[in-house]
Amino acid sequence: MKFSRTWAIARKEWFHIFRDWRSLGLVILMPVLLMLLFGYAVTLDVKKVPMGVLDRDKSQESLSFIYRFSASPYFHLRLFAEDEKEIKKLIDRGEVKMGLILPWDFSRTIKAGKKAAVQVLLDGSDSNTANIILTYVQGVAREFNLEKTFLKIERLGGQKLKPPVEGRPRIWFNEELESKNYFIPGLVAVIMSIIGVLLTGQVIVREWERGTMELLISTPVRKEELIIGKLFPYFFLGLLDLSLAVWMGTWVFEVPFRGSLLLLFLLSCIYILVALALGMTISTNARTQILANQMAMVIGFLPTFLLSGFTFVIANMPFWLQLITYVIAPRYYVTLLKEIFLKGANLSFLWTETIILVGMALVGLWTATLSFKKELR
């Protein structure tokens, strides 16, 4: 393999990229748009849940219980309803997500030392949000019960009691429990997959459609030189997109970056090669650019989005689907990104994923070279 011929192919591809302003704009704008959309629109945080209250008791005890909800950052008291029908209508219209109904004997039941029943109506159309809201409600009720229990015991015993166990939780790596800190690092993998696979997925098939591939295969250029020369410009464009994504994640969305920037870029170089090799394999087998784009979305984007752990937890997937994720490179790259971003992990903790990605990159480049036939179709 001669460097001069490889460099000539790379220069040709550079000229094509700079002449095609739409592709160049796609390379630069897509990471920015994806980061903005996912960073601001996609969130798992459930805060300021709109709620309506029907307080039939209207006592100091009932107001104290309601105040615990309104003072919490997780609930937003919209209104006090007049009857239960109004609560149900509000939930049906989507104006509130939760209805809290306190019985007329709420205060008297508590003072008598009995258990008061409180009705909670939840909009279960979004099951995940409903489960989170239910957990919040149970937490508020648990704190209210503990306070009332301790106050009653103190009145009877004459001394102030302290709980036997005091929990002091300390959250590591994502102290504020912000979902953006979970999504943004994984989004870098999505951007690398889309850019790498989508752009290189058109490289070879475009030459066939335009009739310029006949000229290339008639030259002394070997297929290894052709493949590497074609990949060379997109490798640096991938690094450019990586820089944009990391910059936006750390400065625009303020995601903590605790690891080594050099290590992140070195390991990302390996994954970029994996994505480029996959795109080149698609390009050598597809007959049209439309088919290449469709294959790139199905093979490159969907597995990264659904099966890498970026959106859904792999451990919660069916066992047969978990087995499929082991042969998907984004699974390992998403792990690397989150470990470096949030935990500041070094290579000694990431060597397994690194070795797997290196193997996938070598196999991918070998497959892309093998699948390219230097002959007329």
Q: Are 283 and 292 in contact (CB under 8 A)?
A: yes
Domains of the chain by range and CATH? 3-43+178-371 (no CATH), 49-157 (3.40.1710.10)
Q: Read off the pLDDT of residues 90-143 as tens digits, 9 standing for 90 and up.
A: 898 888 999 999 999 988 888 887 888 899 999 888 877 888 888 889 888 888
Measuring CA to CA, how many Å separate 40 from each of 92, 106, 111, 249, 255?
Answer: 27, 42, 47, 11, 13
For the stretch 156-174, what's the b/e string if a residue is b when 16 or more beta carbons lie within 10 angstroms of its beta carbon? eeeeeeeeeeeeeeeeeeb
Considering 114-118, 169-173, 338-342, the range whose residues carry the highest mean pLDDT is: 338-342
Q: What is the pLDDT of residue 221?
A: 78
Q: Read off the pLDDT of residues 252-310 as tens digits, 9 standing for 90 and up.
A: 888 889 999 999 999 999 999 999 999 888 888 887 878 888 888 888 888 888 888 88
Site of tokens 């066939």: 208
CA-to-CA distance for 347 and 354, rounded, in angstroms? 8
| pTM strictly above 0.85 | no
Q: Are 219 and 6 in contact (CB under 8 A)?
A: no
Question: What's CA 59's distance to the chain center, in Å?
Answer: 46
